[in-house]
């Protein structure tokens, strides 16, 4: 292939990548041929995406700089261009520069990443507690305060095709969560190590037997969000997806009731009609256990 053809094909490839990146990304699931992260449904994921883009520019700049240095050295200092090399080995200025600039780059990265890690790891005052248990190979979801437990299995391929839902992502029993609600997630496992991961929420937490890990999310965009087990857990690792529907609070409460559950009366966001509480007993933030 001629050089021009190579350049043309690389340019065409880059343009199709860019086109895919700018095409409408599907919400809550991967978009075929797309290259970017899934659209964020939580503030944390927006911050993660922004941090990812920031890192990408640093990576691009360093890659171009190092490649240019390599090309310059290969052309300027090869045996023909530079037949009698100089014999010096140290250069104070260059050594200071190549130490200080990487340190400054790392400080800039830490400046942005440490607050983000803190936000992810600090569990805020939760309005709802969700317990997630990994099994070989399906997920159990439990709202302990409402007495609701569901088991989500992989939706069989023929059912997924018939219902127009994504095979390998859809489940037999989608989990509902209310939007604009801080959900604390307790993650554990019944057998081997799994991992509860929902990309659009910016959540990925190991599910370990005999141990409870904590994470949280607050979905601000209604929709259906898919995730997958993200720890290689055995032969059916690829067949234990996660399907979460973020819905308005009223729809969530109706779903809880349909599952035969009810929040304890101490929970003002529960079935409020059946409990009478003093207004003072219902603070704006409701700690749950």
Task: Catalog residues that contact Cu ion under the rule CB under 5 A.
Answer: 194, 229, 233
How far is residue 171's CA from residue 189's CA, in Å, rounded to a whole number?
19
Minimum distance, C-beta of residue 226 to Cu ion, in the bound complex (Å): 15
Minimum distance, C-beta of residue 227 to Cu ion, in the bound complex (Å): 11
Nearer Cβ to Cu ion (137/201): 137
Minimum distance, C-beta of residue 14 to Cu ion, in the bound complex (Å): 36
Nearer Cβ to Cu ion (155/179): 155
Q: What is the β-pairing status of strands 194-198 and 223-229?
A: antiparallel
Question: To which residue do tokens 């005052």 refer?
Answer: 125
Minimum distance, C-beta of residue 193 to Cu ion, in the bound complex (Å): 8
Nearer Cβ to Cu ion (194/218): 194
Minimum distance, C-beta of residue 194 to Cu ion, in the bound complex (Å): 3
DSSP string, 93-154: HHHHHHHHHHHHHHHHHHHHHHHHHHHHHSPPPPSEEEEEEEETTEEEEEETTTTEEEEE-B
Nearer Cβ to Cu ion (133/288): 133
How far is residue 46's CA from residue 200's CA, in Å, rounded to a whole number?
9
SS3 category, 173 = coil
Nearer Cβ to Cu ion (203/233): 233
């Amino acid at each position: 292939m001629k050089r021009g053809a190579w350049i043309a094909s690389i340019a065409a490839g880059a343009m199709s990548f860019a086109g895919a990146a700018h095409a409408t990304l599907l919400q809550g699931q991967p978009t075929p041929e797309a290259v970017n992260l899934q659209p964020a449904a939580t503030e944390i994921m927006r911050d993660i995406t922004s941090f990812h883009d920031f890192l990408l520019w640093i990576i691009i700049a360093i890659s171009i700089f190092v490649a240019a240095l390599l090309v310059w050295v290969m052309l300027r200092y090869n045996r023909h261009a530079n037949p009698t090399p100089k014999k010096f080995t140290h250069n104070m200025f260059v050594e200071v520069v190549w130490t200080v600039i990487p340190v400054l780059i790392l400080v800039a990265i830490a400046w942005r990443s440490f607050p983000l890690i803190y936000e992810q790891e600090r569990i805020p005052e939760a309005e709802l507690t969700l317990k997630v248990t990994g099994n070989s190979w399906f997920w159990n979801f439990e709202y302990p305060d409402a007495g609701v437990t569901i088991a989500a299995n992989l939706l069989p391929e023929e059912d997924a095709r018939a219902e127009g839902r994504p095979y390998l992502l859809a489940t037999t029993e989608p989990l509902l969560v209310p939007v604009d609600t801080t959900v604390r997630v307790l993650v554990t496992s019944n057998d081997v190590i799994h991992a509860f991961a929902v990309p659009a929420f910016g959540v990925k937490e190991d599910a370990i037997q005999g141990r409870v890990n904590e994470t949280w999310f607050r979905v601000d965009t209604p929709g259906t969000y898919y995730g997958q087990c993200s720890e290689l857990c055995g032969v059916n690792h690829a067949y234990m997806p996660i399907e979460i529907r973020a819905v308005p609070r009223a729809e969530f409460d109706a779903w809880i009731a349909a599952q035969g559950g009810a929040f304890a009366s101490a929970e003002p966001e529960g079935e409020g009609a059946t409990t009478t509480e003093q207004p003072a007993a219902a603070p704006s933030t409701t700690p749950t256990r």
